[in-house]
Structure 1
Amino acid sequence: MAISSVEIPSSDCKSALLKLAPVEAILFDVDGTLCDTDPLHHRAFREMLLEIGFNGGVPIDEEFFILNIAGKHNDDIARLLFPDDYERGLKFTDEKEAYFRRLVGEQLNCISGLDKLVKWIKDHGLKRAAVTNAPRANAELMISRLGLTEFFQAVIVGSECEHAKPHPMPYLKGLEAIGASKEHTFIFEDSPSGIRAGVAAEMPVIGLSTRNPENLLMEEKPAFLIKDYEDTKLWAALEELEKQGGVSIRTQTTQTDTFA
């Protein structure tokens, strides 16, 4: 699937975060936002669905994965893949997650520039939480492999909330867990459903075009999109925040987290 390029004026990127001043917290999705895991999820679904003859034995392609699976909760995926046997679908997704964790144990790549952003957040003393639709075992494994277990003050899991993303509840639970307000918090997300959840929770969402097409992400109205955490649009916005006194430097430290 071709990924279109969506340009947003740099002035809009800078102003998107200024209204939050003083910023007190940042919320992160996990899959595709902290680490590039969609290829691992796609591989697990493709291989396991092929084994049971799904789609007439034709492997699911990237387009099918992006439109029907990426970013969605396993309950919804189970209903979509097994519309006539929901219980079988749940069993299948549980087995798929176990396979995914084995793949994560072999290979996990963080999003470029994440270590730089983590240091910036720590230097400014901002609160932070991970908010994900992934099962807790997956989320904690990925966060641990990235060396971020101590970085996050809370991990909110969609299946442990009354509603998962795209409902705003997981992000509202994230705010509650770390004692932050939506008026001074923003979000990093990579999927249409995740962006929709953050926007519905009334917080600005910075979208990452890790794997999902930019036109699909923009339909959910993120504040702006970045390629990764090295993107100049992101750092221009953060520097403008500093310049306008929107964040304060709590401590200067050269320590960074270790990434797999």
Structure 2
Amino acid sequence: MTVSENSSNSTPSLSQVAPLEAVLFDVDGTLCDSDPLHHHAFQVMLQEIGFNGGVPINEEFFIQNIAGKHNDDIADTLFPGDRERGLKFCDDKEALFRRLAKEQLKPIDGLYKLRKWIEDRGLRRAAVTNAPKPNAELMISLLGLSDFFEAVILGSDCEHPKPFPDPYLKALEVLQVSKDHAVVFEDSVSGIKAGVAAGIPVVGLTTRNPEHLLNQAKPTFLIKNYEDPKLWAALEELDKKAGRVTDAA
């Protein structure tokens, strides 16, 4: 695939946000490929309690019911009618995830190249996530990005988490930037919907979720990772509009 089916342009473009002022990142699956760790933690713990007759949940179930969602919604899905038990289960699962993350978490390819591009241009930046605060802080710290982000916006601190736009609208407010001059990076249907609902162009990453599902949420375009030539062509276009002569790539 060369261009998102939702894009009306012949090539991926972010020109509508020029001049770019802020970049907003999801965390899980966007800064790091953490979904396999989450999937494994859920799989192990659900199997222990005999969920689904003891049959391990597969990737399709994980994507449809868990990936990108807030723990309140996950608790309701896994333990309908017993949210208290569901939330306790999710808390225990997050503790297992953090233990796994300390040993196995890795950045998305090209992340630090994009970080340098953003820092060199003095852009504002925030992390916007449905993850619990301990998870978000741990992942950002493990990736060496604690000093990079000016703010970390949690879904739990907003009236509504993703897929509602509230977390991204709060990030714009905190950074004091307009939605017309910001861009979002997301990897889940829930996250892309949140960014789009906030009126911000969203670059979707196909880290784990299928392209056809992500396209249904209407990202501006999709990339494989931060090394993707489509991304750097779009960033180079932004540089040209800003009068920069350096090559983004």
What is the TM-score normalised by the length of structure 1? 0.91
CA contact (8 A) 1:113 1:229 kept: yes
| Match of residue 130 from structure 2 | 133
Find the residue that maps to 1:27 and give its secondary structure: strand
Q: Distance in 2 between matches of 1:204 and 1:108?
A: 28
Deviations 1:227-254 (CA, angstroms, capped at 9, x unpaired): 00000000000001111227799xxxxx
**Aligned partner letter, 1:13:** P
Deviations 1:21-73 (CA, angstroms, capped at 9, x unpaired): 11100000000000000000000000000000000010000010011100000
Q: Distance in 2 between matches of 1:32 and 1:247?
A: 31
Q: Distance in 1 between matches of 2:153 and 2:107?
A: 20
CA contact (8 A) 1:25 1:180 kept: yes
CA contact (8 A) 2:25 2:185 kept: yes
For the pair 1:193 / 2:196, whether they are aligned, the reply is: no
Find the residue that maps to 1:12 and give its secondary structure: coil
| Match of residue 86 from structure 1 | 83
Report deviation, 1:86. 1.1
4+ residue runs of structure 1 moved beyond 3 angstroms? 5-12, 246-249
| Match of residue 41 from structure 1 | 38
CA contact (8 A) 2:3 2:12 kept: no
Q: Distance in 2 between matches of 1:115 and 1:69?
A: 28
Unaligned runs of 5+ in 1: 250-260
**Aligned partner letter, 2:11:** D
From 175, 179, 200, the equivalent of 1:203 is: 200
What is the alpha-carbon root mean square deviation over aligned residues?
1.5
Q: Distance in 2 between matches of 1:54 and 1:25?
A: 43
From 223, 227, 231, the equivalent of 1:234 is: 231
CA contact (8 A) 2:45 2:93 kept: yes
For the pair 1:168 / 2:165, whether they are aligned, the reply is: yes
What is the TM-score normalised by the length of structure 2? 0.94
| Match of residue 215 from structure 2 | 218
Report deviation, 1:173. 0.5
| Match of residue 150 from structure 2 | 153
How many residues in Structure 1 have an aligned counterpart in Structure 2?
243
| Match of residue 13 from structure 1 | 12
Find the residue that maps to 2:12 and give its secondary structure: helix
Q: Distance in 2 between matches of 1:246 and 1:26?
A: 19
> Percent identity over the alignment?
68
